[in-house]
C-alpha cells in the first residue's frame, strides 16, 4: 500500500512538472519562433550574414522545441512502458525520414514489450541514444536504407540493432564527433554495451544491449 501511494504521488508530481514545463518553456519557444518569422517578413531583403543568423535562430529554436516535446513525453507516467518507448523511437524515425530518399523500417517482437516498465532515466537515455544515431544516419551516412530491429532475449536482455547502407566511416577518425561519446555514456548509464561497426564504403551497424528491470507483476 505504501509503495502504491508513493507511485501515485510520483505520478502526480511528474504530471504537474510536465504541465509547468510546457507552460514555461514550450510556449516561450513557440513565441520565439513566431517572432523570428515576423522579423524576417518585416526586414525584407537582408544581407547573407543577417539571413544566416536568423536561420540559425529558427533552427536552434526548432531543435530545442523538439527536445522539449521529448522531455514532456517522458514525464508522462503512462509512457514508462517499453512498448511506448520503442514506438516513440519508431515514430521519430518514420517522421525523420518521411520526406527523404531514405527508406526506414522498424521490426521487433512487440508482444513481449508490454511486460516491462523502465524508470524515467533509463527511458530517456534509450531514446536519446537512437535519436542521435538516427539523426547521424540522415546527416552523414548518405544512405538509402535504414533498418532498426528490437529483440528481447533470454534473461530480460534487450538488443537493438540499427543498420544503414551508407558510405560508412573510419571509427578512429570520428570517435570524438557526431555525439558518439554521448551515446556511449548513455549506454553506460543503462549498464549496457554499445558497439559500432563501420568501415568506409561498408555502411554502419550500431548494436545496443542491456538488461531490463524485472517484468511487471
Q: Categorize the per-residue pLDDT at 212 as very low, low, confident or very high, splitting at 50, 70 and 90.
A: very high
CA angle in degrees (0–180, nearest 5) for 70-76-78: 120
Give the lowest-confidence range in 17-31, 82-96, 163-177.
Answer: 17-31
pLDDT for 54-80, tens place per residue? 888 888 887 777 777 777 777 777 778
- Concatenate the DSSP letters of all residues of 121-137 into one string: HHHHHHHHHHHHHHHHI
Q: Is 162 helix (H, G, I), strand (E, B) or coil?
A: strand
CATH number belonging to domain 82-211: 3.30.565.10
Residue 175 has pLDDT above 60, yes or no: no
At which residue does the C-alpha cell 543568423 appear?
A: 53
pLDDT for 76-95, tens place per residue? 777 789 999 999 999 999 99
pLDDT of residue 14: 67
Please state the rounded mean pLDDT for residues 173-186.
Answer: 77
pLDDT of residue 178: 54
Task: Name the residue ranges covered by the structural domains of the chain.
Answer: 2-77, 82-211
pLDDT of residue 138: 92
- Do 82-211 and 2-77 have the same topology in CATH? no
Dist CA 72 CA 57 (whole Å): 22
CATH number belonging to domain 2-77: 1.10.287
pLDDT for 113-167, tens place per residue? 988 989 888 998 999 999 999 999 998 999 999 999 999 998 899 999 999 999 9
Buried residues in 109-124 as b, exposed as e (16+ CB within 10 A): eeebbebbbbeeebbb
Amino acid at each position: 500500500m505504501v509503495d502504491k501511494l508513493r507511485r501515485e504521488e510520483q505520478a502526480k508530481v511528474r504530471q504537474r512538472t510536465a504541465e509547468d514545463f510546457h507552460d514555461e518553456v514550450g510556449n516561450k519557444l513557440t513565441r520565439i519562433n513566431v517572432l523570428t518569422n515576423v522579423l524576417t517578413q518585416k526586414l525584407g531583403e537582408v544581407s547573407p550574414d543577417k539571413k544566416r543568423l536568423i536561420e540559425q535562430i529558427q533552427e536552434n529554436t526548432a531543435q530545442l522545441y523538439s527536445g522539449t516535446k521529448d522531455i514532456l513525453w517522458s514525464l508522462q507516467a503512462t509512457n514508462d512502458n517499453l512498448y511506448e518507448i520503442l514506438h516513440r523511437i519508431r515514430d521519430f524515425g518514420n517522421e525523420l525520414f518521411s520526406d527523404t530518399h531514405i527508406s526506414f523500417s522498424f521490426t521487433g517482437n512487440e508482444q513481449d514489450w508490454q511486460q516491462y516498465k523502465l524508470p524515467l532515466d533509463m527511458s530517456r537515455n534509450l531514446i536519446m541514444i537512437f535519436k542521435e544515431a538516427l539523426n547521424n544516419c540522415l546527416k552523414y551516412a548518405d544512405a538509402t536504407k535504414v533498418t532498426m530491429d528490437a529483440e528481447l532475449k533470454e534473461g530480460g536482455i534487450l538488443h537493438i540493432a540499427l543498420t544503414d547502407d551508407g558510405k560508412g566511416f573510419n571509427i578512429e577518425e570520428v570517435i570524438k564527433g557526431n555525439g558518439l561519446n554521448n551515446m556511449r555514456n548513455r549506454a553506460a548509464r543503462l549498464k549496457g554495451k554499445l558497439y559500432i561497426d563501420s568501415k568506409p564504403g561498408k555502411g554502419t551497424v550500431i548494436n545496443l544491449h542491456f538488461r531490463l528491470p524485472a517484468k511487471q507483476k
